[in-house]
Structure 1
């Protein structure tokens, strides 16, 4: 008996109960040019069938097919082909589209991270530590590596002043690495072993650092009266974080700033506006005391505002759009491009290639698709580059100011 088991063919001897693998060897001659030509034609036809606007926003789609097909005979790799797909799909003037190429790479170059921030003004030799990232591999009781020390060697190789030393950490994530460190304050030189982290793990540490800085800034500017939460993505994990932080550490705040900047989207807008749109209907007053809480207890029912910027995308457009439409509070920051469509990403017969088509439009009070409908803030505040470098955040500062003004005019509840 021949059986497919775990994706492999095996032979089963029914009498003896013995299982043995069946070796399969085969070759295929693949005409990659013909395959790319098919995918090109397929993508063009799928747009006709699935694009959210049956009129294709007035685009002469046949003309663009003829125009871009001329380049196909000159393309011999998927990197260029994905660009061709993206260029053609880009003529639709819509979000959530384009081609992607994700080749399978064996043992790729990945620069590991030490979980540190470096002094870019230090000329070397070596690299000078300016900050140890919280949650990183060096935040432990055993390490002697602190702010101000100089890393001189990595795995015995000296870091010269003119050297791109990052290459010394290539493919070193989660592997033991030996650092030679010099402390200028104590004149001590020592070796320390550690395991670097991946670029993704470093990115998470930097994100948490940024959120902590923003939270501290809001707390200081408001005198502890205004809470802060950042919505990292439009997904379940982000909603759980928002719910936990708002009804946890921010529960006693008088107002809330909801920061959506740098959010790439997902599908969470309705959950967020429902959560932030609580309406108070009961106060709790133990022993006749001044009410400090009440119902609803599982929603935010106090003043709030949303900070947004040009970096908001997709559902990070729909959330502030819905927030403004429902009159929940003010939008502060910069305009957000209208990118409120639901996308379908299709993997091709060559699985390294994917293209996207926005299939579902969202239609609001304007009675038109929100795609390409720019969302304007109630209070327009650009963040000046030089101000950011000096540690300021003008958008956040203005949001705090607005929240303080709003709670200042809010009537004070009294005991009965």
Structure 2
């Protein structure tokens, strides 16, 4: 009997044992040792198999059995000859991507499989800052900032205790003259997660050394996004004098639920709220957010003390103000579903530009033999009348506002400014009303 054992977070073992009431006490002789196996693989045969499997997955799983009217057998005949010319796995990805592109369905796509990894990884690292060339080295023009309530998320130069003033110049990195570096990342290569000694010259002329821990390029990119998001939140808070809140969702996954819960409830008493899903990568939490926005206060609790305490809704943490959503051409997948739902439920206007148009969802179960994937978009979104939405069309904003590239590079934000202007006007037209207690009841005398 062949038995596969399983344990949380482990691959488990394969055992070959005699059938019986229980497993033998000594399993060493029964365990299949994979490390002793050598398997001969014919890459070209695997590529043919994966191409055929990928073709079948689209045929059998795409939400429209007619595949948007594409002659799918003809597509196999068209692209199969190219598989014979493939020389490495990346080329197979390209062939399969061109084939699936014939369906014109955004979530039907190709993920790379078992690709050979290069040993020449440069190991780029960063300091979480914008650095510009200076005669003495590299000047710290901007240190990326994030939510001060999350000090653990601070970048290398914003770490507690460093207190590095803007305008300071990095003159050396681990003893290497910074003026000789064509880019500061050259001095940080391979140093992600390791302590690095920086020599600094501050604007007042003082020289000192600090020890920092650079981050990899993925974390560096996240720090830039955090700086962008927190900058928008501060701008909204200042422009509205604290009356309008701001929440940005970079995607629609577990971390984004946490972001939403932390930021939305903290601003639930504002008169207005901007939910920004620009550049949103998608996920599957749209219903969670829409449900919170759909809650309505219908009664209030009136405490006796302290004197003059304001009533509060019995539907706890209900947002009673006005809400707008910001979306753009890089709002994708579940970010679009949320935006469309926000419109359909009449929760407020959408401001920005038309979204990407990825409205057919999927399960991500279309695996190939080498752990690559031929993703098939399986579940279309329809209205009560059966009409399909979002896919190929995107979500059309109620108020179209574009952010021109040059103006954006100069620090202007037409879309955010439009959202602020709309909310300010709406708050003035229909201010949020806080109920005042009426006459207290008295016993009715017979």
Matches within 5 A, 1:147-296: 147-160=166-179, 163-188=182-207, 190-248=208-266, 250-286=267-303, 293-296=312-315
Q: Looking at secondary structure, tell me which structure has more strand per residue.
A: 1
In structure 1, list runs of 5 or more residues that go unmatched. none
1:313 maps onto 2:327 in alignment: no
Match of 2:412 in 1: 392
Match of 1:364 in 2: 383
How far apart are 1:171 and its partner, in Å? Answer: 2.2
Tell me which moved more, 105-114 or 400-409. 105-114
2:375 is paired with a residue of what secondary structure?
A: strand
Matches within 5 A, 1:328-367: 328-345=347-364, 346-351=366-371, 353-364=372-383, 367=386
Q: 1:25 & 1:8 partners in 2: Cα distance?
A: 14
Tell me which moved more, 290-299 or 266-275. 290-299
Q: Cα 1:144–1:396, aligned 2, differ >3 Å: closer, same or farther?
A: closer
Tell me which moved more, 176-185 or 221-230. 176-185
The answer to whether the Cα contact below 8 Å between 1:332 and 1:378 also exists between their aligned partners in 2 is: yes
The answer to whether the Cα contact below 8 Å between 1:382 and 1:395 also exists between their aligned partners in 2 is: yes
After superposition, give the CA deviation of every residue in 1:142-176 in whole Å (9 maximum; x if it has no partner): 43643212223222332346724423322211112
Q: Cα 1:314–1:303, aligned 2, differ >3 Å: closer, same or farther?
A: same
Tell me which moved more, 262-271 or 159-168. 159-168
2:262 is paired with a residue of what secondary structure?
A: helix
The answer to whether the Cα contact below 8 Å between 1:260 and 1:307 also exists between their aligned partners in 2 is: yes
1:65 maps onto 2:76 in alignment: yes
Q: 1:347 & 1:34 partners in 2: Cα distance?
A: 17
Tell me which moved more, 404-413 or 102-111. 102-111
TM-score by length of 2: 0.83
How far apart are 1:315 and its partner, in Å? Answer: 0.7
TM-score by length of 1: 0.88
Q: Cα 1:214–1:17, aligned 2, differ >3 Å: closer, same or farther?
A: same
Tell me which moved more, 360-369 or 281-290. 281-290
After superposition, give the CA deviation of every residue in 1:345-383 in whole Å (9 maximum; x if it has no partner): 3221112x2221101111125632222133111100001
How far apart are 1:233 and its partner, in Å? Answer: 1.8
Q: 1:125 & 1:369 partners in 2: Cα distance?
A: 60
Q: Cα 1:44–1:4, aligned 2, differ >3 Å: closer, same or farther?
A: closer
How far apart are 1:306 and its partner, in Å? Answer: 0.7
Aligned residues: 410
Match of 2:443 in 1: none
The answer to whether the Cα contact below 8 Å between 1:87 and 1:98 also exists between their aligned partners in 2 is: no
The answer to whether the Cα contact below 8 Å between 2:297 and 2:313 also exists between their aligned partners in 1 is: yes
How far apart are 1:90 and its partner, in Å? Answer: 0.8
Q: Cα 1:124–1:80, aligned 2, differ >3 Å: closer, same or farther?
A: farther
The answer to whether the Cα contact below 8 Å between 2:197 and 2:209 also exists between their aligned partners in 1 is: yes
Match of 2:341 in 1: 322
2:377 is paired with a residue of what secondary structure?
A: strand
The answer to whether the Cα contact below 8 Å between 1:10 and 1:19 also exists between their aligned partners in 2 is: no
Q: Cα 1:23–1:260, aligned 2, differ >3 Å: closer, same or farther?
A: closer
How far apart are 1:296 and its partner, in Å? Answer: 2.0
The answer to whether the Cα contact below 8 Å between 1:290 and 1:413 also exists between their aligned partners in 2 is: no
2:363 is paired with a residue of what secondary structure?
A: strand
Tell me which moved more, 21-30 or 398-407. 21-30
Q: Cα 1:366–1:159, aligned 2, differ >3 Å: closer, same or farther?
A: farther
Q: 1:7 & 1:286 partners in 2: Cα distance?
A: 59
In structure 2, list runs of 5 or more residues that go unmatched. 6-10, 18-22, 146-153, 439-446
How far apart are 1:261 and its partner, in Å? Answer: 0.8
CA-based RMSD of the aligned residues comes to: 3.0
Q: 1:354 & 1:23 partners in 2: Cα distance?
A: 25
How far apart are 1:42 and its partner, in Å? Answer: 1.2
Q: 1:413 & 1:113 partners in 2: Cα distance?
A: 49
Q: Cα 1:170–1:354, aligned 2, differ >3 Å: closer, same or farther?
A: farther
